[in-house]
Structure 1
Amino acid sequence: MRDNIYLQLIAVFAPLSLLSIGGGQSVIADINQQTVAIHGWLTQREFVDLFAISRAAPGPGSLLATLIGWKEAGWAGAIVASLALFLPSSVLAFAVTLVWHRHERHPWHQRAQTGLAPVATGLILASSLTVLRAASSTWSIWVLALAALAVFMSKSRINPLLVLFAAGMLNVLLGTVN
């Protein structure tokens, strides 16, 4: 099974790269499924911990792939997983951008743009629910998540780290930390 971890990392992250409509957050649920349930590279708790680190670190939130690659195969694994997640979608985005701008005035252009918005939203929602479900089953975590959502809906320019810090402090005060 672990014959070539680098090929396994590519086989997991390259297809997800091409499915990441809406950004890296849209494939978190699939990364969870692949790394925890299918390959067994991580426990659910390790996944949540690496997810939290990837969100708090500067840079793209999909640094989760880098952390998973690093955990499985050291620095080389981190590089392979990162390239597998970022390179295919970057090449595709570049090619699509060339075509997209060439056809801006066509009627299908606006319809395609409008149709992709709910797809991206659904993928991001599925990822959010996967992480929330994996993090804890206590009611207070769900309440904090809904409160954070309300803050982001009303104050879209607020720094997410402030909301994360406040939710963490409330979680500690409520005594629900595992």
Structure 2
Amino acid sequence: MHVLLDLFFTFAYLALISVGSASAVIPEMERQVVIVHGWMSHQAFVEAYALGLLVPGPNMLHVVLIGNHVAGLPGAVASGLGMIGPTSCILASVAWLIKQPKPPAWIKQLHAALSPVTIGFLLATVWNLGKDTVFLKDIFSTAICFLALLLSVRGLLNTGWIVVLALLAGAIKGFFFN
């Protein structure tokens, strides 16, 4: 029971400090899961995150995978509820405020102020996950990452196809150059 409460409150804390999405707090999530609680290794965390992104659905499915790894189905439920529960309550309150005839001005100001914070969190996520796996290891993998980023940001190709093409490029590189 203690581990379920730890999972719930850890992910509730992460949800409350996240700005934009669950991906914005990946560095802190990894610190909590790997270093503070010791629930899994860095590699297992990266694999759970990658698998969570590949599965159709919300971008926080890795949270459920982490909870499942720690405590099975009850852990998956506890971590999932921790990640969506508190923020859902806050979002419902803000939605109620916005529907008022004259919503408070601070809502627009908060939104404008948090946009750069979201970008910073996402860049920290890319660096934290990529530093041990791709970046600084070889120029080919780094170039594939930046090409995938460019295709994704420009909307030139569906994200699923970008993942498939990156996978093929990595397989070809591994087959011919390793």
Instruction: Specify the alignment match of 1:47 in structure 2.
Output: 45
In structure 2, how many angstroms separate the alpha carbons of the residues matched to 1:149 and 1:53? 19
In structure 2, how many angstroms separate the alpha carbons of the residues matched to 1:29 and 1:99? 32
- What pairs with 1:21-170 in structure 2 (closer than 5 Å)? 21-102=19-100, 107-137=105-135, 138-139=137-138, 140-155=140-155, 158-170=157-169
Cα distance, 1:153–1:111 mapped onto 2, change above 3 Å: same
2:25–2:125: 8 Å Cα contact kept in structure 1?
yes
Cα distance, 1:104–1:166 mapped onto 2, change above 3 Å: farther
In structure 2, how many angstroms separate the alpha carbons of the residues matched to 1:107 and 1:64? 35
In structure 2, how many angstroms separate the alpha carbons of the residues matched to 1:60 and 1:142? 27
Number of residue-to-residue matches in the alignment? 174
Identical positions, percent: 26
Instruction: Specify the alignment match of 1:14 in structure 2.
Output: 12
In structure 1, how many angstroms separate the alpha carbons of the residues matched to 2:85 and 2:104? 29
Instruction: Specify the alignment match of 2:170 in structure 1.
Output: 171
TM-score by length of 1: 0.87
Deviation per residue, 1:96-153 (Å, 9 max, x gap): 2222343756554433322121111111221122121243352233221111111112
Give the gaps of 5 or more residues in structure 2: none
Q: What is the root-mean-square deviation in Å for CA atoms of aligned residues?
A: 2.2
2:97–2:104: 8 Å Cα contact kept in structure 1?
no
Moved more, 77-86 or 18-27: 18-27
TM-score by length of 2: 0.87
In structure 1, how many angstroms separate the alpha carbons of the residues matched to 2:13 and 2:47? 24
In structure 2, how many angstroms separate the alpha carbons of the residues matched to 1:108 and 1:14? 24
State the 1:77 CA deviation.
Answer: 0.5
Cα distance, 1:133–1:103 mapped onto 2, change above 3 Å: farther
In structure 2, how many angstroms separate the alpha carbons of the residues matched to 1:103 and 1:85? 31
Cα distance, 1:21–1:47 mapped onto 2, change above 3 Å: same
In structure 1, how many angstroms separate the alpha carbons of the residues matched to 2:112 and 2:41? 38
In structure 1, how many angstroms separate the alpha carbons of the residues matched to 2:28 and 2:5? 18
In structure 2, how many angstroms separate the alpha carbons of the residues matched to 1:24 and 1:56? 15
Residue 102 of structure 1 aligns to a residue in which SS? Answer: coil
Cα distance, 1:113–1:150 mapped onto 2, change above 3 Å: same
In structure 2, how many angstroms separate the alpha carbons of the residues matched to 1:75 and 1:42? 16
